[in-house]
Amino acid sequence: MSTFLAHDGTKLFYRDWGTGQPIVFSHAWPASADEWDPQMFFFANRGFRAIAFDRRGHGRSEQTWDGNDIDTYADDLAALLETLDLNNTILVGHSTGGGEVARYVGRHGLSRLAKIVFLASVTPGMLKSDTNPDGWPLETFDGFREGLLKNRSQTYQDAALTFYSYDQPGVEVSKGTQDKYWYQAMQGSLKAHYDCVAAFSEPDFTEDLKKITVPTLVMHSEDDEGVPYHFTGARSAKLIKNAQLKTYKGLSHGMAETHPDLINADLLAFFQS
């Protein structure tokens, strides 16, 4: 397996397919680089270098006890770009990965970047607050943590329903996609996934987003159950200078997996623009 070392020596798994302008994909909680299979295969076959890594404590990466926080995640992303010496890079962050990308910019700047995509991203924040009154209360995220401690396998199976909107009438259910989600989750660490709930829910990414000046695309379904559009994607698009906003109707939080033909075409158009 291909691995790189984070700044604290943690060993992290990554995939590196194709040649050309690099695209680095950051995944959702509690998944792994495998969630990006439809995108990596597509873009590696179209003259891009497609790269995705497993966040620490997720997938095949080392299961650290400490460091499962958004600042360390951003520094791990920086270590990947530095190790592979990537420049003119496109960053694509999904869900928690969007927070990772935003905080990367806040901590490491834009010198290696060409473009950014926030796909169903948790930015600028998920937690209810004075500045985000429509966000979810802390008790919601406490419920996630309680579920992990009680029966994390069942929690992942339940989470897959809202991740892909399989709990909605008329949505065709793919058992294979559900099983893939569960398998990715079970590869990871209980401790890392428990800590990651705070990492994706509690940070405020407002100031990170304001630092972005490279071309940026915000992609979000207005019917996203996992990360509601009205207090995430809609707000992100307003905070990022000259951001493009692409919204969808009737798609799920996991739309890049359930509708890859549509999402890949929109990504390609942005990359080539």
Residue 206 is predicted with a pLDDT of 98
User: Can you give the chain as a three-state secondary structure string?
Assistant: CCEEECCCCCEEEEEEECCCEEEEEECCCCCCHHHHHHHHHHHHCCCEEEEEECCCCCCCCCCCCCCCCHHHHHHHHHHHHHHCCCCCEEEEEECHHHHHHHHHHHHHCCCCEEEEEEECCCCCCCECCCCCCCCECHHHHHHHHHHHHHHHHHHHHHHHHHHCCCCCCCCCCCHHHHHHHHHHHHHCCHHHHHHHHHHHHCCCCHHHHHCCCCCEEEEEECCCCCCCHHHCHHHHHHHCCCCEEEEECCCCCCHHHHCHHHHHHHHHHHHHC
CA 86 to chain centre: 19
What's the whole-number average pLDDT of the chain?
98
- The pLDDT tens digits for 29-42 are 999 999 999 999 99
Q: What's the whole-model pTM score?
A: 0.97
Which residues, other chains included, contact 3 with Cβ-Cβ below 8 Å and sequence gap of 6+?
11, 12, 13, 14, 61
Query: Environment class of residue 131 by beta-carbon count within 10 Å: exposed (0-12), middle (13-18) or buried (19+)?
Result: exposed
Q: State how far the Cα of 166 lies from the Cα of 173, in Å rounded to an integer.
A: 6
Where the chain has pLDDT below 50, the residues are: none
Residue 1 is predicted with a pLDDT of 80
Helix axes 190-201, 96-108, angle to 10 degrees: 70
Active site residues: 95, 224, 253
Q: Which two tokens stand for residue 136?
A: 């979810």
Q: State how far the Cα of 110 lies from the Cα of 268, in Å rounded to an integer.
A: 21
